[in-house]
Amino acid sequence: MSTRVTAGIKAKGSCGSRNVFFGVAPQKGLCVTAAGTVVHGKLERGKGVVKGMRSFKEIPHTGRNGWLNLLKFWRENRFQQLHKHMERTFNMLGPIYREKLGTLSSVNIMLPSDVSELFKSEGLHPRRMTLQPWATHREIRNHSKGIFLKNGEEWRADRLQLNKEVMMSAAVKRFLPLLDEVAKDFCRMLQTRMEKEGRGEEGKCVLTIDPSPDLFRFALEASCHVLYGERIGLFSSSPSLESQKFIWAVERMLTTTPPLLYLPPRLLLRMGAPLWTQHATAWDHIFSHGEDPEGVPALKGQLSLDLIKANITELMAGGVDTTAVPLQFALFELGRNPEVQESVRQQVRASWAQAGGDPQKALQGAPLLKGTIKEVLRLYPVGITVQRYPVRDIVLQNYHIPAGTLVQACIYPMGRSEKVFEDPLHFDPSRWSREEGQRAEAAGFRSLAFGFGARQCVGRRIAENEMQLLLMHILLSFHLSVPSSEDLNTTVTFILQPETPPRITFSKL
């Protein structure tokens, strides 16, 4: 068995001293970045390699007893602040550490160079952490599993088919006008509300609201229009109760997922635990919205009706909060950074004028829109980790990682690290345009909000374009500001979101 080795850089002549990047004791005897191979458990000497790797057990850790760690997490409410816990732990232990919580053990990393090595070892059928409570629900209800919960050749076959339907350029060209229509209607709805409720000095229309309920309705309306080819009328004055229940069910499902990851779901099922009952009931309601798979034009292909239903349910459940919440953060950051807002608006106006109503051309001519989404997801990633199980032994930070180990790339700490980004807390969409000229191998592993490679988010193209189109039409119609520019406190349910949704002031241009 043979793999590449990537090690960290140390100060010249600093073998055994403090690490330049993290200020912690480095790997003994390793002085330069080097590549080598793991052969029969030994490190082959490569250029610049001074001594062999360290063992898996020597990786810094947060405590060996997973159940005591889990108890501490519950007592200290760390699940809701897991992103901050990871950030603090990296600051204390360095760029790699082990953690065991209940039945779940992982190695956590945050440097792009290490993430690059991890993804090189993902194999033909990449695996990420199985969300066992979701899988258990499918099994006990006799539902087919979508690609999110599959692995191996079965996953690959379904994924290749889905890629044609929602990821390829032909698919994007097909659904962009649908998303554009919903985005325009959202702005019309906001304009109508502003005329009815808005107040401002000198007769100006100004509306200050918490836009999160409207953004959730937008995300659900857009998803339904793309996946079902139908509008469900969520921008009317009285949205349907069923749609509101669907949004509630998704939020309940996401909230109950994290604590269930560290406990055996079937044991909780036999005990009749309220947590499991809430989780399963939420999924039952979500599945009830996918009962008509034949009405789904976006996923025909060669998939069976059961698989269409399973995947459409996962796409619907994963396509509401995961776009609505980043849009909250985007409006907030644009509102408290007026110069950035104006530079994006000017580019959008010019591009829209030249596009002749073609949404694809309009987006292509406004790279700052894409940079805005990437910058929002750098600071506020929807999912705070990306996971893989390497198919062969690898070496990270000069530690041996056995094949089959759960390794998590922690993207919230990465996005806010001075070791990875210059001035990381500054909101700067233009940084991504500048980075396109960088050719460093690990440069592409600094933006991982949608995952990477064959197992990246299957709804990525829908989500990216959905968010960009809405921001485009909002910036063409409204000026954004915020009553308070204080940093937002964030919390983790299953996704990262603001503890309190920010209020946004919309002013008619």
- Stretch 275-291: mean pLDDT: 88
pLDDT of residue 246: 86
Say what the pLDDT of residue 25 is: 36
Averaged pLDDT of the chain: 85
Computed on alpha carbons and rounded to an integer, the radius of gyration of the chain in Å comes to 24
Angstrom distance (rounded) from CA 22 to CA 31: 15
Q: Are 155 and 147 in contact (CB under 8 A)?
A: yes
Q: How many helices (H) and strands (E) are present in the chain, helices listed first?
A: 18, 14
3-state class (DSSP) for residue 196: helix
Q: Which of 20-29, 116-125, 249-258 has the highest mean pLDDT?
A: 116-125
Stretch 462-479: mean pLDDT, rounded? Answer: 97
pLDDT band at 166 (very low <50, low <70, confident <90, very high): confident
Residue 10 has pLDDT above 50, yes or no: no
pLDDT of residue 202: 63
pLDDT, position 433: 86
Report H helices in 229-273.
Answer: 241-260, 265-271
Q: What does each C-alpha distance from 100 to 43, 72, 109, 129, 299 come to in angstroms?
A: 27, 12, 14, 14, 39
Give the burial class of 294: count Cβ atoms within 10 A of its Cβ; 0-12 exposed, 13-18 middle, 19 or more buried: exposed
What span, in angstroms and rounded, lies between the C-alpha atoms of 18 and 148?
A: 42
Question: Residue 38: what pLDDT?
Answer: 54
Specify the amino acid at residue 213: P
Residue 234 has pLDDT above 50, yes or no: yes
**Across 256-268, average pLDDT:** 88
| pLDDT of 227 over the 90 cut | no
The rounded percent of the chain whose pLDDT value lies above 70 is 85
Residue 439 reports pLDDT greater than 70:
no
Question: Could you tell me how far CA 287 lies from the centroid of its own chain?
Answer: 23
- Other CB atoms within a 10 A radius of the CB of residue 440 amount to 12
List residues bridging with 479 in a β-sheet. Answer: 507
Give the model's confidence band at 318: pLDDT under 50 very low, under 70 low, under 90 confident, else very high: confident
- For 212-226, letters b (16+ CB in 10 Å) and e give bebbbbbbbbbbbbb
Which range, of 238-242, 284-288, 336-340, averages the lowest pLDDT? 238-242
Q: What residues have CB less than 8 Å from 210, skipping those under 6 apart?
A: 501, 502, 503, 504
Whether 37 shows a pLDDT value over 90: the answer reads: no
**For residue 35, pLDDT beyond 50:** no
* Whether the predicted pLDDT of 329 surpasses 70: yes
Q: Give the Cα separation of 352 and 357 in Å (integer).
A: 7
Residue pair 156/458 in contact by the 8 Å Cβ criterion? no
- 492-505 pLDDT, tens per residue? 988 999 999 999 99
- Asked if 434 and 414 count as a contact pair (C-beta separation under 8 A), the reply is no
pLDDT at position 390 is 97
457: annotated binding-site residue?
yes
**178-194 pLDDT tens trace:** 999 999 999 999 999 99
- pLDDT at residue 32 tops 70: no
Give the pLDDT score at 316: 85
pLDDT digits (tens, 9 = 90+) for 72-93: 998 998 889 999 999 999 999 9
Helix (H, G, I), strand (E, B) or coil at 257: helix
Q: Which of 49-58, 214-223, 314-323, 337-346 has the lowest mean pLDDT?
A: 49-58
Residue 442: which pLDDT band, with cuts at 50, 70 and 90?
Answer: low
Q: Give the count of alpha carbons within 13 A of 230, CB side only.
A: 8
Region of 423 on the Ramachandran plot (φ > 0 left; ψ -120 to 50 alpha; else beta) = left
Instruction: Please check the confidence at residue 313 and state whether its pLDDT lies above 60.
Output: yes
Distance CA 391, CA 404 (A): 6
The HSE-up count of residue 166 (CA atoms within 13 Å, CB side) is 28
The predicted model scores a pTM of 0.85
Select the more confidently predicted residue: 14 or 473: 473
Q: How far apart are CA 189 and CA 185, in angstroms?
A: 6
Residue 447 sits at the vertex; the CA angle it makes with 320 and 414, to the nearest 5 degrees, is 105
Residue 141 has pLDDT above 80, yes or no: yes
For residues 467 and 327, give the distance between their C-alpha atoms in angstroms, rounded to a whole number. Answer: 7
Q: Mean pLDDT, to the nearest integer, of 375-387?
A: 97
Other Cβ atoms within 10 Å of 355 Cβ, number: 16
> Alpha carbon of 458 to those of 297, 323, 450, 494: distances in Å?
17, 14, 9, 18
Confidence of residue 211 (pLDDT cuts 50, 70, 90): very high
496-498 and 407-410 beta bridge pairing: unpaired
Say whether 43 sits in a helix, a strand or coil.
strand
Q: Is the pLDDT confidence value at 40 over 90? A: no
Question: Beta strands 496-498 and 490-492: pairing type?
Answer: antiparallel
- Separation between Cα atoms, residue 218 and residue 211, nearest integer Å: 10
Is a pLDDT exceeding 90 seen at residue 230? no
435-453: average pLDDT: 75
pLDDT at 5 over 70: no
| Span 294-321, average pLDDT | 74
Cα→Cα distances 161→13, 51, 291, Å: 54, 47, 21
pLDDT at 130: 86
